Amino acid sequence: MEEGYVIVDGYTDEPAGLGVPPYLDVYPRYVAGAIWSNLPSAQVIYFTIDEVRRSLDVFLKIASKAKAIIFIAGVSVPGKYLGGTPISLEELEFLSRVLEKPVKILGGPVAIFGIGKEGGRIAELPSRLGDSFDLVVRGDIELAVYRFIRERSLEKVDPYERRTDFGLIDMFAVKGAKIVLQHPNYSRNLIIELETFRGCPRAIVGGCSFCIEPLYGKVIFRSVKGIAAEVKALYSYGVKCFRLGRQTDIYSYMAHDTGKYEFPKPNPRAVELLFKSIRNAAPNLKVLHIDNANPGTLANHPTEARKITKIIVKYHTPGDVAALGVESADPKVIKLNNLKASPEESLEAVRIINEMGARRGYNGLPHLLPGINFVFGLIGETKETYILNYEFLKRILEEGLLVRRINLRQVLVFPRTRMWDVGTRVINRNKQYFKVFKEKIRKEIDLPMFRRVVPRGTILREVYTEAYEGKNTLARQIGSYPILVYIPDLLPLGKFIDVLVIDHGYRSVTGVPYPLNVNKSSRRLLEKLPGISQRTVAKILVRRPFKSLEDLRTLVREEQVLKWLRV
């Protein structure tokens, strides 16, 4: 492999960007595009870290012949992942050691900020990796790879170089689109993370105390033309699921006077042009979702926020989530950590999204709902903080508003943020409060809210069967923060099915295939169906196969139950 390059995707998860399967983030695509922009005929081989783990010998054989290996990694907002396990520092060290011949380049958030294992800890710094790699890129990995290939020299590469516009990126994104063909989730449940802008509009006032996004510098917007061209290229390779997730606030895309004000005035015309252009570039897309929204933007500009919410609902696909960085409902914590919005402003943002987003869509879920993110362990946090946070969520529930997801996490402390000097002192002091609070929220807020968002009897369309857990099949729809569905039987994996919701957990639902085949389904599935007793199931098992649902009427008399069945 004389001019061969290997990309190892160790997965990324940042405040503005997700790259854990089934998501494919921008880094591997941009890097592949940087290579092919210089060397159109170069062989670029893509591995996920899970593929490396499963077939280490195969990977080592291929990678040892490559000219260069580019490692991408960095989890700065750790979560629990069904689709893959992010690379560890130990794995990075091991792989860089055993591969002696190729040039080894490390990039992504790990090289800039460190790597996080879980909330409530200090991020591990990448300095210990310096000797293991030929180049640790603390700027933009795609630019470093582009310069390396162009100059044929590592010495001429500035590892701190960062983009000042999206000129090269737009080219890389189009040329790198075909790397999707090598992703293990391709043609299954792959969803592509799209970038609309970099940086945080609130960086001019310092941003939140714990967040790494302001460290990227001033906001740089990507043009509608550039985004649409990338979508068109991805669509030509068969991609049909997209998320506008790589930005700090979708409501601030192309906002007027960005860089002058903390909450620049939103630009509904630009947002509509963006969504319209994506629809034109991918006319038969299956999923178009968003991610982050700043509650302060919505509260400070309610008229424009309502217009943008209406635009999103018009062009997207249902089941969408606008994750709001509320972070805390304690005014003291909000002030000391320079957070985005007061409790009243955050509540108003939830109301605005609910006005137009709560309507149920064709896939069984409301069109667009807010998600709420809380961060614990911040400066000024006390026992009172937990009481105020609970009261805030209780108020949302009592107002009859819908929230799709409540994310409770302990802060992960990164260098160059204000929280670095505080470390984990607050977390350690309040650990017992966090544990009790989390359990209280799951029982008293999450469960009743979940029952409201996905009532019993809801039919969820196009649910993808992903994995087994015990005697259950785990399945999810494709999209932002998909609801986990437990199906009480071992069904074939890698299939899209419709599911009838029959029960609720704190963060998941139990469901059965819809319509349920009465002749082929297991006893366990039939017994889970509401309205059918174990005694009736026993009779069904003895008398099946049935030729029609009419034959079943002597055993199942409820019309609603019959609607859930087929023969």
Confidence of residue 118 (pLDDT cuts 50, 70, 90): low
Which whole number is the average pLDDT over 333-343? 97
- Last-in-domain residue among 136, 168, 187: 187
* The pLDDT of residue 1: 45
Tokens of 93: 């060290």
Determine the Cα–Cα distance for residues 179 and 186; give it in Å rounded to an integer.
Answer: 10
- Last-in-domain residue among 157, 187, 217: 187
Report the CATH number that the domain containing residue 30 is assigned in CATH: 3.40.50
Nearby residues of 509 by Cβ (< 8 Å), 6 or more positions away = 450, 454, 483, 484, 485, 486, 501, 502, 503
Domain shared by 7 and 140, yes or no: yes
Tally of residues, the chain: 567
Q: Say if residue 2's pLDDT is above 60.
A: no
Domain shared by 58 and 159, yes or no: yes
Domain shared by 165 and 203, yes or no: no
Judged by DSSP in three states, 519 sits in: coil
191 within 8 A of 24, measured Cβ to Cβ: yes
Domain shared by 371 and 278, yes or no: yes
Q: What is the pLDDT of residues 16-51, one digit of tens each?
A: 899 999 999 999 999 999 999 999 999 999 999 999
φ and ψ at 488, to 5 degrees?
Answer: -75, 60
* The pLDDT of residue 392: 98
Q: What is the mean pLDDT of the chain?
A: 95
* The pLDDT of residue 349: 98
Domain shared by 167 and 216, yes or no: no
- DSSP, res 545: P
* The pLDDT of residue 276: 99
Instruction: Specify the range with the lowest mean pLDDT, choosing from 128-132, 140-144, 223-227, 315-319.
Output: 128-132
* The pLDDT of residue 78: 67
Domain shared by 227 and 133, yes or no: no
Determine the Cα–Cα distance for residues 414 and 121; give it in Å rounded to an integer.
Answer: 9
Judged by DSSP in three states, 487 sits in: strand
With vertex at residue 250, the alpha carbon angle to CA 247 and CA 255, rounded to the nearest 5 degrees, is 100
Q: What is the pLDDT of residues 200-258, one digit of tens each?
A: 999 999 999 999 888 888 899 999 999 999 999 999 999 999 999 999 999 999 999 99
* The pLDDT of residue 4: 94
Determine the Cα–Cα distance for residues 469 and 474; give it in Å rounded to an integer.
Answer: 7
The torsion of the CA quartet 111, 248, 195, 215, rounded to 10 degrees, works out to -30
Determine the Cα–Cα distance for residues 200 and 528; give it in Å rounded to an integer.
Answer: 48
Domain shared by 375 and 486, yes or no: no
Which whole number is the average pLDDT over 303-328? 98
The torsion of the CA quartet 409, 413, 418, 419, rounded to 10 degrees, works out to 60
Confidence of residue 125 (pLDDT cuts 50, 70, 90): low
* The pLDDT of residue 348: 98
Domain shared by 391 and 430, yes or no: yes
In the chain, % of residues over pLDDT 90: 87
State the pTM of this model: 0.95
* The pLDDT of residue 351: 99
Q: What is the pLDDT of residues 523-559, one digit of tens each?
A: 999 999 988 899 999 999 999 999 999 999 889 888 8
Torsional class of 101: left (φ above 0), alpha (ψ -120 to 50), beta (otherwise): alpha
124 exposure class (CB count in 10 Å sphere: 0-12, 13-18, 19+): middle
Task: Kindly state the greatest CA–CA separation across the chain.
Answer: 81
Of the candidates 407, 505, 496, 506, the one whose C-alpha atom is nearest the C-alpha of residue 460 is 496
Name the one residue in this structure whose structure tokens are 């470093």.
144
- Last-in-domain residue among 394, 426, 451: 451
Q: What's the 3-state SS for 22-60?
A: CEECHHHHHHHHHHHHHCCCCEEEEEEHHHHHHCHHHHH
Q: What is the pLDDT of residues 269-283, one digit of tens each?
A: 999 999 999 999 999
Report the CATH number that the domain containing residue 370 is assigned in CATH: 3.80.30.20
Judged by DSSP in three states, 114 sits in: coil
222-238 exposure pattern, b = at least 16 Cβ within 10 A, e = fewer: bbbebbbbbbbbbbeee
Amino acid at 388: L
Confidence of residue 119 (pLDDT cuts 50, 70, 90): low
Q: Are strands 220-221 and 135-136 parallel, antiparallel or unpaired?
A: unpaired
Domain that holds residue 509: 459-566
Domain shared by 264 and 281, yes or no: yes
Domain shared by 181 and 239, yes or no: no
Determine the Cα–Cα distance for residues 141 and 10; give it in Å rounded to an integer.
Answer: 14
Which whole number is the average pLDDT over 288-302? 98
* The pLDDT of residue 116: 67
Domain count, the chain: 3
Domain shared by 120 and 197, yes or no: no
Q: Say if residue 507's pLDDT is above 90.
A: no
Domain shared by 141 and 233, yes or no: no
Which whole number is the average pLDDT over 42-71? 97
Report the CATH number that the domain containing residue 486 is assigned in CATH: 2.40.50.140
